[in-house]
Amino acid sequence: MSIRLRYGTLLSVLLILFQMGHAQDLHFSQYTNSPLLTNPANTGFIPDGDYRLGVNYRNQWSSVTAFPYKTMSAFGDMQLMKNQEATGWLGLGGLVLRDVAGASVLTSTKVYGSVAYHQMLGTGSLLSLGFNVGWSNKQINTQNLSFPSQWNGQFFDLHLTGAPVLQTNQSSYLDLQTGLNYAYFPNDRVWLNGGVSAMHVNRPRESFFASNGSASNQLAIRYNGFFNSSFKLNDRWIVSPSAYYTTQARASQVMGSLIARYNASGDGTTELLAGVAYRHRESVIPLIGIGLNELVFTFSYDVTLSGLNAFNGARGAYEFSLIKQGRRDRYQGNGRESMCPSFRY
C-alpha cells in the first residue's frame, strides 16, 4: 500500500514540476561520450578523424521500480569545407534523444541539428563556435495511474477522481542552443580543452497545464561548462582527467572523471580503458571499455552515495556508449595527426 501511495505522490510531484517549468534535462554519466549533447560547438570537433557516429543508453532506478527510466541517444557529425591548409572547417551533425519514464507514462523525444565553425589559432590551438536547433516533444498518459486521493482505505478506487486535469497530454516546442569551445595542444603529448554552452536560449514553454499568471511554464536556460584533458605518459599509457558542471533553475550538478587508456596491441589498434567518475554528493561511477580499430565501447555503473541508497541498495544506473570515429579517406588523413595524444602513428 505504501509503495503505491508513494508512487502516486511521486507522479503528482512530477506534474507539479512541469507546471512550474523546472523539469531538468536528460543527461548521461559518460558526458565525454555524448559530445553534441554537452555542447553544440563539439559538432565536427573530432581530434582524430573527420567523422563520428555514436549511440548512448542509460537505465536508471531499476532497483526501486519495475519500470526504470531509460534514456537513449544516437548522434553523428562530420567535418566539411576544410580550407587548403586544414586550419578552418565546418562541422555538421545531428542528435536524436528518447527518454521513457515508467511504463511509458512519460516519454520525451528530441531531435536536433547542429552546425559549428572551427578555426585554428596558430599551430597549437583551436577556437570553435556552434549552434543547434531542435524539436522537442513530451507526452504523458495518466489512464493507468493511481493517486493518493483514490485510496479508499482498502484499495485504489479508479472511479474516484484524483488525476490532475491536464489541458493536453503532450507538449512540443522549438529549442535553441549555442556553445563555445577552445583547445590547446602544444605537442602530441598534451591536450587541453574547455567549453561553455547555453541550452533553451529561446525559453520555450513546456507544460501539460493551461497557462496561468502564477507560472510562466518556460524552461529555464541550462548552462554547461566542461574541461577535458589528455596526457600521453609513454607509448603504452594515456590518462585523461576531465570535469563537468551544469546548472538549470535551482538545480546544479558537478562531475569529475579520470580515465586511463592502455595500448594493448602496441600499434594502437586495441586499447583497454578503465577509470572512475564522481557526481558530487550523489554517486561514484566506475567504468571500463575497449577500443578496437575505430570503435570504442564503454560501460559504466552509477553507485549511489546519496540518501537514496537506503532504497536502492546503492544500485543507481548502468550506462553504455559505442562510438565510431574515423576518416572518410584514410590515406589522405585529416591534416592534424598530432592534435590529440594517440597511440597511432
Per the structure block, which three cell numbers stand in for 229? 584533458
Per the structure block, which three cell numbers stand in for 37? 549533447
What percent of the chain is modeled with pLDDT above 90? 55
C-alpha span between 207 and 288 (Å, rounded): 39
Confidence check: pLDDT of 130 > 60: yes
Confidence check: pLDDT of 9 > 60: no
C-alpha span between 176 and 157 (Å, rounded): 44
Structure-model confidence comparison of residues 196 and 310, the more confident one = 196
Quote the pLDDT of residue 167.
72
Quote the pLDDT of residue 140.
83
Confidence check: pLDDT of 37 > 90: yes
> Mean pLDDT over all residues of the chain?
84
Contacts of 2 (CB under 8 A, 6+ apart): none
The phi and psi torsions of 286 (rounded to 5 degrees) equal -70, 150
Q: What is the mean pLDDT of residues 20-34?
A: 73
Q: Which domains does the chain have, with CATH numbers?
A: 2-326 (2.40.160.40)
Band of residue 86 on the pLDDT scale cut at 50, 70, 90:
confident
C-alpha span between 112 and 133 (Å, rounded): 6
Quote the pLDDT of residue 20.
37
Confidence check: pLDDT of 14 > 60: no
Structure-model confidence comparison of residues 330 and 309, the more confident one = 309
Band of residue 13 on the pLDDT scale cut at 50, 70, 90:
very low
C-alpha span between 99 and 152 (Å, rounded): 33
What percent of the chain is modeled with pLDDT above 70? 76
Band of residue 332 on the pLDDT scale cut at 50, 70, 90:
low
Quote the pLDDT of residue 168.
76
Structure-model confidence comparison of residues 311 and 243, the more confident one = 243
Band of residue 172 on the pLDDT scale cut at 50, 70, 90:
very high
In 10 A of CB 159, how many CB atoms?
Answer: 7
